Amino acid sequence: MTKQVTNENINDKGHLLIGGCDAVDLANQFGTPLVVYDVAKIRSQIRKFKAVFEQSNVDYAVCYASKAFANTAMYQLVNQEQGHIDVVSGGEMQMALHAGFPASKMSFHGNNKSSDELKMALEKHVGVIMLDNFHEINLLGNLLNDMNTTCDVMLRITPGISAHTHEFIQTGQTDSKFGFDLESGQAEQAFKKVKANERMNLLGIHAHIGSQVFELKGFEMAASKLVDLAAEWKQKFDYETKVINVGGGFGIRYTDEDEPLKPEAFVKNIVETIKARTKATGIKMPAVWIEPGRSIVGNAGYNLYRIGSRKDVPGIKSYVSVDGGMGDNIRPMLYDAEYEAVMADQPLRKPIENVHLVGKYCESGDVLIKDQPLPETKPGDVIVMLDTGAYGYSMASNYNLNPKPAIVFVENGKPQIVTRRQNYDDLYELDNPLN
C-alpha cells in the first residue's frame, strides 16, 4: 500500500480526493479513462521554484518545459503564475500562442528546428532561440537576413556529464544528438560564429543533463562547467554571459522506493553553486534559468481507469485489465517506468493480492503496473494511477484507434474539462476517402 495516500486525501465516504473532488464522482461524471490534474499542486510547484530565486536574490526565469504536458489551459496556468515556457516545436509554439501565452517568454528548443519553425519563431517574436547545431546557426542567419531582423539566442552546450538515470533519457553526455560539445571545441566555434553575426544577440549558455535525475552532483558539475565556460569567454573574448540556463530534469517521486530531494532543493543547490563559482572566477552573477517539466506536473496528475476483465493464470499470476493503457501512458513500456495505483473508493483498504495491471491494447507488453497490490476488485471499479502528470498524455497515441482521454483540471473542489475526450469521428477527421 502506498504511503502517498493518507487520511488527509480521503473524504467521509472513504473515497480518494483529488484537489477536493471525489475520484469516484469524477470518473462517473466525465467517464474513463480520464486524466485529472490537481491545479493547486501545479501552482504550488511553480511558486516553490520561484521562491528559491527570490530568496537568493538572483535574476531568474522558471521556464516550464511544456513537452511534459501541454494543453491550452496549462499554458494559461503557467502564464497566470508568471512563468516562462520552453517549446520544442511549431505545434507547442502555436498552442501556447493560441492560449495567449506571451511569445517573449518562450524559449525555442530542438535539435532539428525547420526553417518554417524558425521563421514562425521570428515572426511571432519568440523570446529566445536555443541554438543547437551549426546547420541551425546558418539557417537562422539566412532567415534573419531575409527578414531584416534580429533575435536573442543562447547556445546549447553538451557539458560531458551523464546523469544516472534511464539511458533513453540522458541528454547531457558528450555522445548526444543535442548541443555543441565542449571537449572538442565545438562550443567555442559556435560562439565565434554567433558573435560574428550582428543579427544574433547571444544571451548566454544552456545545458540539460538528463531527466528524472536524483543526484545533486550532476547539476553541480554542469552548473560549474557553464560558469567556467562563461569565465573563459570573458577572459578570452571579453564576452559577458547574461544568462546561465541549467535545463530541467529534477527527479520526482513515483513509488515509495523513490526518495528524491524536493525539486526546489536541486535548484537551491544550483543557485548556490553558480554564486560560489562566479565569485571564485570573478565574473558577474548571471541570471539563472531553469526548465523543469516533470517536477511541475508529474505529481499533480492522476489517470483514472475502470477495471474490466480479469484473467487468473493458475500458479503464475493474475491480470486485471483496465479501459486504457499504453495509448494514454507509454512510459511503463518505453522506460520501465514504475507507478503506484489505488482504488478510488477504498484507497486505504488492505491489499489481498498482487496483480499485473494491464491495458486494453493488443500487445502483451501493455502492462501499466507489475505486481500491483490490490484489495478485492470487481469489474466497474475505478482505479487511480498516481503521479502520471508528466509525459503521459503528452506522449499519448491513438494506437488501436482508441480515442485519447479527456483531461479535467480540479481546483478548490471544482472540476473543469480542459481537453475534451476524443470521439470516434475524430479518429478519421484527417482522412480522405479513396478516389
Feature table: binding site: 249, 291-294, 331, 335, 363, 391
According to the binding rule CB under 6 A, does residue 208 interact with ligand LLP?
yes
* Interaction pattern, residues 67-106, with ligand LLP; x per rule: CB under 6 A: -x-----------------x--------------------
The least CB distance from residue 76 to ligand LLP, in Å, is 20
CA–CA separation, 50 and 211 (whole Å): 20
List own/partner pairs for 86-93 with CB under 8 A and 24 or more apart.
86/130, 86/248, 86/291, 86/293, 87/126, 89/117, 90/114, 90/116, 90/117, 90/120, 92/66, 92/67, 93/117, 93/120, 93/121, 93/124, 93/126
- Extract the C-alpha cell encoding 95: 498552442
The answer to whether 340 and 354 have CB atoms below 8 angstroms apart is no
Nearer to ligand LLP by C-beta: 301 or 415?
A: 301
Q: Which residue type sits at 374?
A: L
Nearest to 128 by CA among 138, 140, 116: 140
According to the binding rule CB under 6 A, does residue 293 interact with ligand LLP?
yes
Q: Give the residue carrying C-alpha cell 491494447.
A: 361
Select the residue interacting with ligand LLP from 45, 197, 273, 295 (CB under 6 A).
295
User: Catalytic residue at 362?
Assistant: yes
Select the residue interacting with ligand LLP from 292, 325, 359, 389 (CB under 6 A).
292
- What does the angle CA 213 – CA 161 – CA 186 come to, to the nearest 5 degrees? 135
Nearer to ligand LLP by C-beta: 17 or 246?
A: 246
Q: Could you say which DSSP state residue 283 is in?
A: P
The answer to whether 107 and 84 have CB atoms below 8 angstroms apart is yes
According to the binding rule CB under 6 A, does residue 302 interact with ligand LLP?
no
Select the residue interacting with ligand LLP from 79, 158, 170, 211 (CB under 6 A).
211
The least CB distance from residue 210 to ligand LLP, in Å, is 8
Residues comprising the chain, all counted: 435
The answer to whether 223 and 274 have CB atoms below 8 angstroms apart is yes
Select the residue interacting with ligand LLP from 17, 23, 46, 65 (CB under 6 A).
65
Helix (H, G, I), strand (E, B) or coil at 279: helix
Nearer to ligand LLP by C-beta: 177 or 420?
A: 177
According to the binding rule CB under 6 A, does residue 204 interact with ligand LLP?
no
The least CB distance from residue 238 to ligand LLP, in Å, is 28
According to the binding rule CB under 6 A, does residue 391 interact with ligand LLP?
yes
List beta partners, residue 382: 306
* Interaction pattern, residues 114-143, with ligand LLP; x per rule: CB under 6 A: ------------------------------
Nearer to ligand LLP by C-beta: 127 or 347?
A: 127
Nearer to ligand LLP by C-beta: 88 or 140?
A: 88
Which 21-60 positions form the footprint of ligand LLP (CB under 6 A)?
A: none
The answer to whether 71 and 296 have CB atoms below 8 angstroms apart is no
The least CB distance from residue 111 to ligand LLP, in Å, is 9
The least CB distance from residue 186 to ligand LLP, in Å, is 17
Select the residue interacting with ligand LLP from 193, 335, 353, 419 (CB under 6 A).
335
Segments in 282-394 forming alpha helices (H)? 294-297, 331-335
Alpha carbon 127 to chain centroid, angstroms: 20
The least CB distance from residue 205 to ligand LLP, in Å, is 13
Strand runs (DSSP E) across 279-427, as ranges? Answer: 287-290, 301-313, 317-322, 341-343, 353-358, 367-374, 382-386, 406-411, 414-419
Per DSSP bridges, beta strands 84-87 and 60-65 are parallel
Nearer to ligand LLP by C-beta: 86 or 181?
A: 86
* Interaction pattern, residues 152-191, with ligand LLP; x per rule: CB under 6 A: -----------------x-x--------------------
Q: How many chain residues touch ligand LLP (CB under 6 A)?
A: 22
The answer to whether 84 and 102 have CB atoms below 8 angstroms apart is no
Using CA atoms, how far residue 367 sits from 167, 353, 358, 406, in Å, is 21, 17, 4, 21
Residues at the contact surface with ligand LLP, assessed by CB under 6 A? 65, 68, 86, 109, 169, 171, 208, 211-212, 247-250, 291-295, 331, 335, 390-391
Would you name the residues annotated as active-site residues? Answer: 362
